[in-house]
Each structure stands twice: as structure tokens, then as C-alpha cells.
Amino acid sequence: MEGALKPNIRTVDSAWSWVVTGATFVLMFLAYGNAYTFGVFFSSLSGTFNADRAETALVFSIVGGLYSTLGIVSGPAADRFGTRPIVMLGMLAMGTGLIYAGMADALWQVYLGFGLALAFGMGFTFAPANAGLQRWFTLRRGLAAGMASTGVGISILVLPPLVAVLINELGWRAAMQTTGAMALCLGAPAAFLMGDPVNTTGHARNTIHGAGYFDRKTALTSRGFVLFFLSSMLCCAGFFIPFVHLVPYAIDQGLGEGTGVYLLAVIGASSLIGRLLLTAASDRMGRRNSMAVMYFAIGISFFLWYLGGSIAVLTIFAVLYGIGSGGYVAMIAPLIAEYFGTEKIGSMLGCFMPNIAIGGFFGPFLAGHAFDLWGSYDIPILVSGVCGLAAGLVVLSMPSRAYAATAFQR
């Protein structure tokens, strides 16, 4: 009876698999939710430290550029030591970092607390948690990933408005420390539930619907991985720009900070469609085709943002961007698991994530720099739209799953 309470002895496709799905939901809520509140903090940080937009945006660029790169370390570490201790480290770093940033006397301290520490927390959460979740399923991976990923969408729906209220009532410092306390109080229990199932060792969990065992080097140099990596890198050229600059953009347009927060909430609510419905549909229509739909939605949405001007058009942008961005994040782990199995999925995700670092670092920073130079976000918005459409074309050129499976047997 005592052993039955331990999550690490549960089996694949069992009731406990859905408990792990819930824990992953909480971890995604905290990791991405805390990052995506940055747009609400933007004006307060800029005013407090007398920083221009590029300097302020650099805080988030550190997060976006570093967290994905850390997957190279955290993914293999989770494969070797288990999901639970790695994710626990991530939550502790995130919580303490945000509390420290709330006490900052200079912007460089925010770079450390909100930038480096939050990046460490996300980097030690995303790849290990999502890889760990994939190990718990063989039949409903798309649905499970979508349900867990709704934590991101709901966090975008809930946390930015909450943080806006806290800033207005208590100031940005107390608001940031509150989010850090949430990471510690909710993240640690969720991390504890992230044990690994017992029947995921050896070649059995590395099988791709009949494919044989393959080594990581073969997978990383395969056409499928290279094309998926490239498509994601194109998508991420502009992926993080709305989360950093949408609120300042709304203020610039005379729409007010409240409109910017509203648009972030619309993105969060709409992302639930991509995370739940489209990822569940991918179990039937295929991960590759589903990912292409997400990319095209993101690309088209940026052109709508460029048209902007009215709340109605910006709301349509937010809906379409939310659907595409939500589905993209949720589909990464299932697509990798489908093509390459789950034996080394932590390592595979870790090696995949650095593509996000390029856009994550340069996108928000260069968008802020463009505004400082020209007083407009038009150029980065248009470039982001083109890159999103290009990403969709690239991912469609990936080989089929059947080809990928047989290729590794050669």
C-alpha cells in the first residue's frame, strides 16, 4: 500500500499519467506565466531605472535567449537523474530570483533576478517536464501535451491582469515578489509529483511504431530534426515580441495600458484552442501538418498586427496569434516523441531548444532598438510575419513519420 503512493512506480497510460499531466500544467503555468508578465512590468521598470526600450527589453531577452539554451544541460540531466530533482531546482531558482528582482536598486539586478534566475528556472522546467510527461503516454500524447500546455494559456489569461492590479495597488516590487512566492509555494509540490514511470527503460520506450533503436547523433543529424529545428528558429524570430512590446505598443497608440493587458489576456484565452483542440486533433491529422497550421496562423497574425489601428483588428490578431503560439509550444514535445521516441527525449528536447534562444534573445531586444531608432514597431512586426509563413513551408518539407522510422533502421 505504501509503495502504491509513490509516483515513480506508476506505469505508462495509467491514472497516474493524468496526475503528472496536472503537475506539468502547474509547472507550465508558473514558468511561462511569470515570463509573460514582463510586458506589464515594462513601463514600471523603464521609469524606475530611467532605461530606454532596448535596455528594458534586454531583461526579457536574457530570459528568452538563455532558458532554451539551458535545455542542453537540463534535458540530458533529467534523462540521467530523473525529472523530479531537475524541475525542483528550476522552481527554486525561479522563485528566489523573482523575489530578489523585486528588491533591485539597479537594472542590472533585475537582469540577474528576472533575467538569469528566471531563465534558469524555465530552462530547468520546460524540457525536463515536457519530456517527462511524454514518457507517461503512448496512446494520448497529443491530448496530454495539450492539456498540460493549457497552463501557459491560462497563465497569460490570469497573471498579467493580476500583476497589473498588484502594481496599481502595491507597486511593481511587491507584485514581482508575489509571483516569486507563487513559484515557490506551488512549483515545489508540482515538481515533487514529476516522477518517472518504471516501464520506460531500455529500447522499449525508444520505439517509434515499430522503428528500431537509434542513437542520438543519428537523430540530431537527420533531415527531420534539422528541418524542424530550422522551422522553429524562423518562427521564434518574432515569437516573443508581443509578450514584451504589446503593452507599450498599446500605450503608444493611445489605447492605454488596459488595452494591452486585455490583448495579452485574449492571447492567453485563444491559446487554449491551439493547446487543446488542435493538439488533440494532431493525434489524427499528424503532428507535422498540425505544426504547419500553427506556424501559418502566427505568420498571418503579425500582418494583422501591422494593420492594427483599432481594437477590433488587434483583437483578431490576438486570437489568431494565441491559437498559433499556443499550439506551437504544445506540439514540440509530441512531434519529437513521434519522430524519435522517448528513450532520450530529454536530450532531444534539450538539443532542440537552442533554436528558440536566437529569436528569444534578439527578437524583443531588436524590436525595442527599432522603436528607439524609428519610433515604430512596423519593421520587426513585418519581418516576424514573413518568418512565420516561411516556418510553415519548412516544416511541411519534413519527411513523413513512416520514412523517419524506417530511416533509423538502416
Residue 321 near residue 301, CB atoms below 8 Å:
yes
Q: Tell me which residue has cell 497563465.
A: 155
- The Cα–Cα gap between 91 and 87 comes to 6
Residue length of the chain: 410
pLDDT in tens, the chain (410 residues): 344 444 444 566 677 888 888 999 999 899 888 888 888 898 899 999 998 888 888 888 888 878 878 878 887 888 788 889 999 999 999 999 999 999 999 999 999 999 899 999 988 988 788 778 877 777 676 678 778 878 877 888 888 889 999 999 999 999 999 999 999 999 999 999 887 776 544 333 443 443 444 566 777 788 888 999 999 999 998 998 998 889 889 988 889 888 988 998 899 889 888 777 776 777 777 788 889 999 999 999 999 999 977 899 999 999 999 999 988 888 887 888 888 776 777 778 778 888 888 877 888 888 888 988 998 899 999 999 999 999 999 999 988 764 444 444 43
- The Cα–Cα gap between 176 and 171 comes to 9
- The Cα–Cα gap between 329 and 170 comes to 33
Residue 398 near residue 287, CB atoms below 8 Å:
no
Q: Which amino acid is at 106?
A: A
Domain architecture of the chain: domains with CATH? 11-407 (1.20.1250.20)
